[in-house]
Structure formats: structure tokens, C-alpha cells
Amino acid sequence: MQHEGDLDLRQMYQKREELIKANRQLLAKNNEKRFYGMTGMTFNEKTFQNMINFYKPELKKIMNSKDESNEISKLPKNDRRILKGNEIITRGYGKYEITPEARDFLCAPVDSGREG
């Protein structure tokens, strides 16, 4: 900042940054509400569902194996990072495992999306 000694100028810049941040949060909240209104789920839920569907063959193979941790370790590091970031797998005490939410989603019956 050019005028370090000018307290009023510093406060003005801080106030401006706070307003910009508040405006961005409001826009994000509005987008989230609009998306929820259209799909009935949040961005995170939709991303989780998309990732499960994309990695379904690998996840089914992992679930059917005797040693899930070993099978997950065989996945490419980038895939493990993506699955971990989307809370599909976790790593606790040195062992990988599929999260209960992902396991429930994979074991749930397929819904055709049509109602009566």
C-alpha cells in the first residue's frame, strides 16, 4: 500500500475488501439455492453422485476384492486424490477404505427416475 501511515486509507481498503467478499458469498449462496431448486440437491451432493457414477467400475471391483486397501492402493495416485477429495475413500491408520456414504450409494437399488 502506498500510504502505510494513513489509517483512514487503510480502513477504506479493508472495508472495500470486506464488501467484495460479502458480495461473492451472496452470489455463491444464490447460485447454490438456484441449483438446489432445479436439481433438489446441493453442488457437493451432485459432485459426489457424479464421481461415484464415473468411478463405479473401479469401486465395484474394490468392494468385491478381499483386501480393499490393497486394491485402492493400486489405483493411480491422481484417482485416489480425487476420490479422497470427494469423500468417497478415506485413509485411516495407513489403510484405505470406502466411506459408508459411498458404500450405501453403490449398494442402493438403481432408480429409473420415473414415478408412477
Q: What is the pLDDT of residues 34-54, one digit of tens each?
A: 989 998 998 889 999 999 999
> If residue 1 lies in a helix (H) or strand (E), which one and from where to where?
none
List the grid coordinates of 11: 480502513
Q: What is the pLDDT of residue 4?
A: 67
Q: What is the pLDDT of residues 54-74, one digit of tens each?
A: 999 999 999 999 998 999 999
Whether the predicted model's global pTM rises above the 0.85 cut: no
Domain map of the chain by residue range?
1-40, 43-107
User: Mean of the pLDDT values across residues 16-40?
Assistant: 90
